[in-house]
Amino acid sequence: MARKQLTGIGPPPETGADDSGCPILHVDMDAFFASVELLERPELNGSPVIVGSPAGRGVVLSATYEARAFGVHSAMPMSRARRLCPQAVVIPPGHGKYSAVSKGVMEIFHAITPLVEPIASDEAFLDVGGARRRVGPPARIAALIRAQVRERYGITCSVGVASSKFVAKLASKQCKPDGLLVVPADEVVAFLHPLPVSALWGVGERTEQALVRLGIRTVADLARVPVTTLQRELGAAAGAHLSALAWGRDERAVTAHTPDRSIGNEETFAADVDDPEVIKRELLRLAERVAARMRESGHVGRTVSVKLRRADFSTITRSRTLREPTDVAQEIYSTACELFLAAGLERVRLRLVGVRMENLSPAGTASRQLSLGARETGWREAEQAMDRAIRRFGPDAVLPASLVRARLDEMEA
């Protein structure tokens, strides 16, 4: 096969692979949160590092490849990660830093093509078919992106170049970390068929078990099974979907400017909490974060949702739709507190709480109507002023009074 993996930066190279039918790129930042943290801790380069709660609660947000060598991966419980790699340095997350770098990286993408579909803060699909004449062929564009990300932000990314989103994403995974992989359009089947069937989108643990029972372990095995058999075993839609992927058929286009469906934050306590005042302070902290993210992204929302996880890991959610959309933390917080109290868990030990805003719309299109005789509270203007102070002086420059008192209590403890 003419596939070729490239590493390093410099002048955009020629790959030697035929990228003429490969307008789709999947760009995936390498160990994104951990890489951003290492910019401030360069002495930790080459060491196992985990981004997560130092108290051992919650899950791994990111891990360097040195930590991954011990079996650590994202979404793994921190307690298990510490057992697998006790020598790892654990760094608490600093979400503001990640958002700033993510925004800058997305700007690099948008400078090349308007057809950018973010999947998360650290990955996106690009359709660069329209940028050929102005910038160059897809592989050259991919190399330029990698060079610019490293030059501007000091971190690396891996890029898959292919004829479809599905194959491009698999290619970026295959060449991690810090690689570039082109899968020519006429070599897609040869690229896919040696892979384990679990590599296909839609094959989770249960589906993989069902396929293994049928003697299907690789994508090639799956491709040889009649689609009617797959549909009988997995259902009509799932069977047809996997059969198409096994032959590299994925017709989905890159969708630009996919709107956020929801914006939320959650926090796992260092120790289970049954004090309602402590829980409400955490709801306020989360409401502040969610509101700030909404204002930054230019959204307002109408539905407030809270997530409450008990010490036994059972979880409940409660939500309420407001009369008017909002991006004001105080409105989100007051509703979140009401939902918490209505759930009847004031004296129940909680492990995790979360706040989320749903039913989003662009801020400029949402109108706020005052009831007859009602007065503006001024909270929006106050919070916008807080946003400006935080951007200039850092995340702890301005805090609500109750959170300041909590911070002082922590320092005295």
Q: Which of 6-15, 97-106, 274-283 has the lowest mean pLDDT?
A: 6-15
**Which of 7-11, 118-122, 149-153, 296-300: highest mean pLDDT?**
149-153
The number of CA neighbours under 13 Å toward the Cβ of 374 is 8
Domain with CATH 1.10.150.20 in the chain: 193-246
CATH number of 193-246: 1.10.150.20
Flag whether pLDDT at 83 surpasses 90: yes
Which pLDDT score, from 0 to 100, does residue 380 have? 59
Of 66, 123, 187, 282, which one is the catalytic site residue? 123
Domain with CATH 3.30.1490.100 in the chain: 262-387
Q: Six-digit token pair at 159?
A: 């890029």
pLDDT, one tens digit per residue, over 277-329 is 999 999 999 999 999 888 888 889 999 999 999 988 889 999 999 988 999 99
Flag whether pLDDT at 15 surpasses 60: no
CB count within 10 Å of CB 317 equals: 13
- Greater confidence (158 vs 214) lies with 158
Tokens 């990286």, residue located:
105
Which pLDDT score, from 0 to 100, does residue 388 have? 59
CATH number of 262-387: 3.30.1490.100
Flag whether pLDDT at 387 surpasses 60: no
Q: Six-digit token pair at 141?
A: 């564009």
Q: Six-digit token pair at 322?
A: 């407001």
In sequence order, what are the beta bridge partners of 77? Answer: 59
Looking at the structure, give the CATH architecture of the domain made up of residues 17-183. 2-Layer Sandwich (3.30)
pLDDT, one tens digit per residue, over 165-205 is 999 999 999 999 999 999 999 999 999 999 999 999 888 88
Tell me whether residue 217 is exposed, middle or buried, using C-beta atoms within 10 angstroms of its C-beta: 0 to 12, 13 to 18, 19 or more: middle
CB count within 10 Å of CB 10 equals: 7
Q: Which of 116-130, 263-277, 388-402 has the lowest mean pLDDT?
A: 388-402
Domain with CATH 3.30.70.270 in the chain: 17-183
Which pLDDT score, from 0 to 100, does residue 382 have? 59
CB count within 10 Å of CB 324 equals: 13
28 appears as a binding residue in the annotation: yes
Which pLDDT score, from 0 to 100, does residue 385 have? 59
* DSSP-based three-state secondary structure for 357: strand
State if pTM tops 0.75. Answer: no
The C-alpha R_g of the chain, in whole angstroms, comes to: 24
Residue 69 CA to residue 294 CA, distance in Å, equals 37
Q: Is 277 a catalytic residue?
A: no
250 appears as a binding residue in the annotation: no
